Amino acid sequence: MIKKVDHVGVAVNNLEEALKFYTEMLGLTLEGVEVVEDQKVKVAFLPVGDTEIELLESTDPEGPIAKYIEKKGEGIQHIAFRVDDIEKALEEMKRKGVRLIDEKPRYGAGGAKIAFLHPKSTYGVLVELSERK
């Protein structure tokens, strides 16, 4: 069901500053920046092999990324797994008793269909399922 690690989401206070590290120090290439209004977040994508680093800066002090940083500080916020059929994947997770944050997929950055699993069911990791065309 899971094809690969689609991306790793990293919460940062300042996207511009963090990007300097990822591009100038690590030598990664910035593929694009996008604001996802629904999640009150500005996202930068940096491909690494066939996966990506997703840097997340909150656009709102009440947004989920701002709250995450307030609680836990900057750092890895979620891991996203690529699936072929997100509705089917969610159904299967539910059937297996996994707690879901999103019962139905919503649209994330890059037009991907995404849904989050609850960290209580995943040993503390916020897991995102992602279906992209």
Residues in the site for Zn ion, rule: CB under 5 A? 9, 80, 128
Q: What is the DSSP string of 45-79?
A: EEEETTEEEEEEEESSTTSHHHHHHHHH-SEEEEE
Partnered with residue 57 across adjacent β-strands are 42
Residue 37 · residue 60 · CB < 8 Å: no
Q: Shortest gap between Cβ of 39 and Zn ion (angstroms)?
A: 9
Q: Name the amino acid, one letter, at 133.
A: K
Q: Shortest gap between Cβ of 51 and Zn ion (angstroms)?
A: 11
Structure tokens that stand for 130 in this block:
């992602």
Nearer to Zn ion, 9 or 105 (CB): 9
Nearer to Zn ion, 24 or 37 (CB): 37
Nearer to Zn ion, 12 or 97 (CB): 12
Q: Shortest gap between Cβ of 112 and Zn ion (angstroms)?
A: 8
Q: Shortest gap between Cβ of 57 and Zn ion (angstroms)?
A: 13
Among all residues, whose Cβ is closest to Zn ion? Answer: 9
SS3 content of the chain, % helix, strand, coil (to 5): 30, 40, 30
Nearer to Zn ion, 51 or 121 (CB): 51
